[in-house]
Chains A and B, each alone.
Chain A
Amino acid sequence: SQKIEQNSEALNIQEGKTATLTCNYTNYSPAYLQWYRQDPGRGPVFLLLIRENEKEKRKERLKVTFDTTLKQSLFHITASQPADSATYLCAPGNAGKSTFGDGTTLTVKP
């Protein structure tokens, strides 16, 4: 069955540093992979989507890579800020249906 693993339950970094979150998947060949942000008690909010034929995508301080050979996506937040503290979910998908990982909780300390 499909399995999605996101690195360590929690990631703590200092303000201004780059946060790197990992998403690995097995038994799955997604056509695209999405990243979402979720704050406590709220629904997930879409951040970025990267397709299987794309290696990298950027949006402001966010960068996502997608390696279909390694079956891995990396999500980077550069110049991190305390406001970036949240849980980040990766969601590989096909034909409009996405499967979510359990998320990585990021805490950015001032």
Chain B
Amino acid sequence: DTGVSQDPRHKITKRGQNVTFRCDPISEHNRLYWYRQTLGQGPEFLTYFQNEAQLEKSRLLSDRFSAERPKGSFSTLEIQRTEQGDSAMYLCASSFVPGTGELFFGEGSRLTVL
């Protein structure tokens, strides 16, 4: 088991472009989460899936953000028409429920919007 992997680790884009991040969770985990983190802040919840179903999406998340988890395995997070305020670390985490609730995080995808 290689843990949670995220790709790309770094992405620099120009304002207005679309970006997509991929997360591969631990294989037996049925829950997958996306968080966003800016410098000096804790991870902010964006959305989560149980298997392929998206169970909750943050009300703070604009319509430019969309996430999918086809077949309940890997997940993608797409940001359309990026803005400078989207610059952040995007963290993916997975867990198994029912279980301890422990989240296993990836190393994150850092987005810089110029």
Which residues of A pack against B, CB within 8 Å? Answer: 4, 9, 32, 34, 36, 41-46, 49, 89, 91, 93, 96-103
Contact = CB atoms under 8 A, between A and B. Distances in A.
Given A49-B100, A93-B101, A98-B101, A103 B42 contact: yes
A44 B102 contact: no
A91 B102 CA distance: 10
B105 interface: yes
Contacts of A34: 101-103
A96 B101 contact: yes
Nearest to A89: B42
A42 B40 CA distance: 13
B83 interface: no
The 7 lowest CB-CB distance pairs between A and B, nearest first, are A43-B105, A100-B42, A102-B42, A100-B43, A46-B102, A96-B97, A44-B105
